[in-house]
Amino acid sequence: MARRKRLSVGAYLIDALAHRGVKHVFGVPGDFILGLYRIGDDRGMHMVNCTREEAATYAADGYARERGLGTVAVTYGVGILATMAALGGANAEGVPVVVIGGAPGLAEHDGRVIHHMPSTDMGTPRRMMEEIVAHSVVLDDADEAYGQIDWLLDSVMRDMRPGYIELPRDMISAVPAGAAHAIVRPAVPELPPARIQAAADDVIATINRARKPILWVGNGARRLRFGERLLALAERTGMPIVESVMGKGTVDGTHPLVLGVYVGAGSPAPLREYVESCDLVVEVGVNINDITTGAFTSHIPAEGSIHMSRTATRVGHHVYEGVDLASIAPAIEQRIGEIRARRVPKGLPHAWATGEQTGDRITTGTVADRLQRFVEPSDIVVSDVGVAAHLAMDARLNRNGQFHIARLYVGMGFAVPAGYGAALARGKGRPVVLVGDGSFQMTGFDLSTAIRAGVAPIVLVLDNHGYGAERSIQDGDFNDIAEWNYAAVGPAVGAIGIRVYTPDELDDALARARKDRRTAYIIQVDLDKLDVPRGLKALGDGLAGLMKPGH
């Protein structure tokens, strides 16, 4: 980036973000960061004022998933701390979100107590942040600030991990005294090409020896936008594809080689039997944990798998450290002609919703079926956790990279703000948001921010009258929540609200929302209290088992 000597630190920061494709900064303006909001507004950056800092961070998370970098700007103390729960999700999920935290001016570090943080130790928020971000800087020297900003933003985008910039308020308008100082940091060591090729040799040879291989695709592939490349690999080799619950939506579900989500015991029996009968599972960016394995019920032995992750490649028990997914993928693609092509197996099983319905009462299965019929390729589908997440796993979507979820972190309240964040980042498409009643009570009113920003989401509130996911693990009155009229929230925030009880009513509401493309909708889907999606029931049973003594 060309450096202009006389830009203020704040102006340089805004321009550096814009240079990297950021057009929107989310947050809540407060005293210590107001100067940056003024500069951002003057320089054409959209400074999006959200209802709360947690919602702003989720919005930036959704934005980063679509655009490669998301940004939050908040005030000192209370603002910074309020981002941390949601920022933990960006850390767990590998999302490049930067928090810019306003701070007391350098001249104020003289022992006085400043509001927002009643302590003379003004470094406390920064030290807390450093526990949940991969990179952080304090812009306390105008002559070094340009280099610090560039390094931080580039590192966050390269590593796909969150970062923190502390910006003292008297540095926002500070200008370097002379030529900006270059910041010399240790170079990222280059990976020896021979090691990459050795790993590729092993991967290709192992695939060629397999009688019945399959691709298992995870969120690592989703972050790298590998959808098109994975479909090309599947078509060339005849290997079917299943997705992990974190990698849902990586590939176009309408492709005949895409079978749906595999999650151990949470999968339909025919799909689980097929995957676990394969003599080779090629795990592409799959994060192995209790969620992706259905509470460790998947049966894929290391000797029968290839695992390509963000840090290494493992072939059987042989590990190639440093040969990450991003480096080995092009090496394999360059040699794709060496991979033995196979006939596509006949009668492949799948995990898609079937549309079967008994009675007039709407069910989670009905919603999954209607969702896969309703969604258009231009839509952005964003799901919260719990019932919404498990229902969404069974819906067949129709575009590479169409789906977003914070599945590992399981942070309630993600979907509504992440939905409009993703829409603003993409610049086109309509968010279709799946959210439980409990999650909606946390951030649902932030739908007003979407509307103010010109986004018109269709929000399906899955009202099962409490915490359905927790009920599936350990039931009790503690899982009950206050009964809300979610449809009535619509007029309060500038949307249209509709409550539905039957499949026909849901069909009518979806048709109305689709026709009215400029208006946001809240569709309150009234579900039975104990209606649990198939996958959630299986996971709940598994997690309940892990809670027992001895596990």
Side-chain half-sphere CA neighbours of 248 within 13 A: 31
Q: What is the CATH number of the domain that holds 405?
A: 3.40.50.970
Residues 155 and 100 in one domain: yes
70 and 129 co-located in one domain: yes
Which CA distances in Å does 530 have to 119, 267, 280, 392, 466? 48, 20, 38, 18, 10
One-letter amino acid for residue 84 of the chain: M
Q: Is 284 in the same domain as 142? A: no
Is 433 within 8 Å of 382 (Cβ atoms)? yes
Do 280 and 369 sit in the same domain of this protein?
no
Which tokens in the block code for residue 536? Answer: 């959630």
CA-based nearest residue to 475, from 464, 485, 461? 464
Consecutive 10-residue runs of the chain (551 residues): their mean pLDDT? 72 98 97 97 98 98 98 96 96 96 88 74 90 96 95 96 97 87 73 95 98 97 96 96 97 97 94 97 96 92 96 97 96 96 92 80 94 97 94 96 94 96 97 96 98 98 85 79 95 98 97 97 94 72 59 55
- Is 529 in a helix, a strand, or coil? coil
Q: Quick one: pLDDT at residue 180?
A: 63
Report the CATH number that the domain containing residue 321 is assigned in CATH: 3.40.50.1220
Are 78 and 162 within one domain? yes
CA angle 485, 490, 491 (to 5 degrees): 110
Pairing of strands 97-103, 70-74: parallel
What is the Cα–Cα distance from 480 to 438, expressed in whole angstroms? Answer: 9
Whether 430 is in a domain gets the answer: yes
Q: Is residue 81 part of a domain?
A: yes
Give the number of domains in the chain: 3
Same domain as 432, residue 368: yes
- Does residue 34 sit in the same domain as residue 156? yes
Calculate ∠ Cα 412-418-422, nearest 5°: 160
- What local confidence, expressed as pLDDT, does residue 545 receive? 59
Residue 188 inside a domain? The answer is no
Shared-domain flag, residues 242 and 310: yes
State the greatest distance between any 2 C-alpha atoms of the chain, in Å, as a whole number.
76
Residue 163's φ and ψ, nearest 5 degrees, are -140, 165
Q: Give the residue from 390, 404, 382 showing the smallest Cα distance to 473.
A: 390
Single residue among 281, 303, 338 that ends a domain in this structure: 338
Same domain for 211 and 310: yes
Between the CA of residue 395 and those of 158, 168, 259, what are the distances in Å? 32, 47, 11
**pLDDT given at position 116:** 76
Q: How many CB atoms lie within 10 A of CB 364?
A: 25
**Residue 25 domain-assigned?**
yes
- Asked if residue 253 lies in contact with residue 393, where contact means CB atoms within 8 angstroms, the answer is no
Q: Tell me, yes or no, whether 185 lies in a domain.
A: no
Answer whether residue 354 is part of any domain: no
87 with 150, same domain: the answer is: yes
Phi, psi of 63 (to 5 degrees): -60, -45
C-alpha distance from residue 161 to each of 27, 96, 164, 396, 405 (Å): 19, 5, 10, 29, 16
Rg (CA), the chain: 24
Nearest CA to 99 out of 141, 64, 123, 146 is that of 64
Q: Considering the entire predicted model, what is its pTM? A: 0.94
417 and 300 belong to one structural domain: no
Residue 351 lies in a domain: no
Looking at residue 479, its pLDDT comes to 82
Residue 416 phi, psi dihedral angles, 5° rounding: -60, -55
> Is the Cβ–Cβ distance between 538 and 294 less than 8 Å?
yes
- 467 belongs to a structural domain: yes
Structural domain of 26: 9-168
319 and 428 part of one domain: no
